[in-house]
């Protein structure tokens, strides 16, 4: 009998977990509605102010903001803080989507719109859903996870082929070489998959690529509406 009670309790807990997940999704949809156009910026949580990568991220976010883009990050320190800081300086929505972790990740003070999630996959949905482009700064396992998920979503036509920009060719060279030498050579990916990516070393290139792509989409959209 005790075993049956444990099974029933587990089933109830799973049911309530489902409702909590739905609640997080609803909170995300409500909180982010209307932020478009937006750019999601990913990268290491371990860099500090004064680091060159911090400065570059801040500049990219500020200039994108000055061109009318909201900025979305994971809401934590490092690259996320730098991006939210740049967005705040530009006076646009500076969105931080934080996550509850065993070692608490504090929200950075530069996010003007902050939502905290318990589930990584809900947070990842929100980082992707409202973005017009993705800027991937150097980072660790979390950054690689987010990058490969974005590429998979585009490859499988689950989202539109938005720009995916890898910043700092020296950092990403090993990863791209591995993709070609191991994955491509083994037949696990196609040559066309590399067209999903663009590598940039200058902040100007990031801004120009995203703004040019977005303007082209606006023109296409207006032509479609006028038909």
Which tens digits make up the pLDDT trace of 144-195? 999 999 999 999 999 999 999 999 999 999 999 999 999 999 999 999 999 9
Q: What is the pLDDT of residue 20?
A: 87
Closest CA to 140 of 47, 38, 40, 58: 47
pLDDT average, residue stretch 42-57 = 96
Q: Is the dihedral of CA 37, 114, 122, 60 positive or negative?
A: positive
pLDDT average, residue stretch 91-116 = 88
Q: If you search the block for the tokens 């060719």, which residue do you land on?
A: 169
Q: What is the pLDDT of residue 76?
A: 93
* 117-123, Cβ contacts within 8 angstroms, sequence gap of 24 or more: 117/24, 117/28, 118/20, 118/24, 119/21, 119/24, 122/21, 122/24, 122/25, 122/28, 123/28, 123/74, 123/97, 123/99
Q: Which residues contact 225 (CB under 8 A, 6 or more apart)?
A: none
pLDDT average, residue stretch 13-24 = 82
Q: Could you tell me the two tokens for 16?
A: 């309530």
The CATH classification of domain 2-226, taken from the options 3.30.230.10, 3.40.50.450, 2.170.8.10, 3.40.190.10: 3.40.50.450
pLDDT average, residue stretch 111-140 = 93
pLDDT at residue 5 is higher than 70: no
pLDDT at residue 222 is higher than 60: no
Q: What backbone torsions phi and psi does residue 101 show, to the nearest 5 degrees?
A: -125, 160
* Average pLDDT value over all residues in the chain: 89
pLDDT average, residue stretch 105-128 = 90
């Amino acid at each position: 009998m005790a075993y049956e009670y444990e099974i029933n309790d587990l089933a109830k807990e799973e049911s309530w977990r489902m409702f909590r997940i739905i609640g997080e999704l609803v909170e995300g949809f409500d909180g982010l509605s209307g932020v478009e156009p937006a750019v999601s910026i990913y990268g290491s949580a371990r860099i500090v102010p004064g680091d060159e990568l911090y400065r570059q991220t801040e500049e990219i976010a500020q200039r994108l903001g000055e061109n009318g883009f909201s900025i979305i990050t994971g809401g934590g320190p490092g690259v996320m803080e730098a991006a939210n800081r740049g967005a705040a300086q530009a006076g646009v929505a500076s969105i931080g989507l934080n996550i509850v972790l065993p070692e608490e990740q504090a929200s950075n003070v530069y996010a003007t719109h902050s939502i905290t999630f318990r589930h990584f996959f809900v947070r990842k949905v929100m980082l992707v859903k409202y973005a017009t482009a993705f800027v991937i700064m150097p980072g660790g396992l979390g950054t690689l996870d987010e990058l490969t998920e974005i590429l998979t979503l585009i490859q499988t036509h689950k989202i539109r082929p938005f720009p995916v920009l890898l910043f700092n060719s020296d950092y990403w060279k090993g990863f791209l070489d591995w993709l070609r030498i191991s994955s491509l050579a083994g037949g696990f990916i196609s040559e066309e998959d590399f067209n999903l990516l663009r590598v940039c070393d200058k902040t100007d290139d990031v801004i120009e690529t995203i703004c040019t792509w977005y303007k082209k989409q606006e023109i296409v959209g207006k032509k479609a509406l006028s038909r």
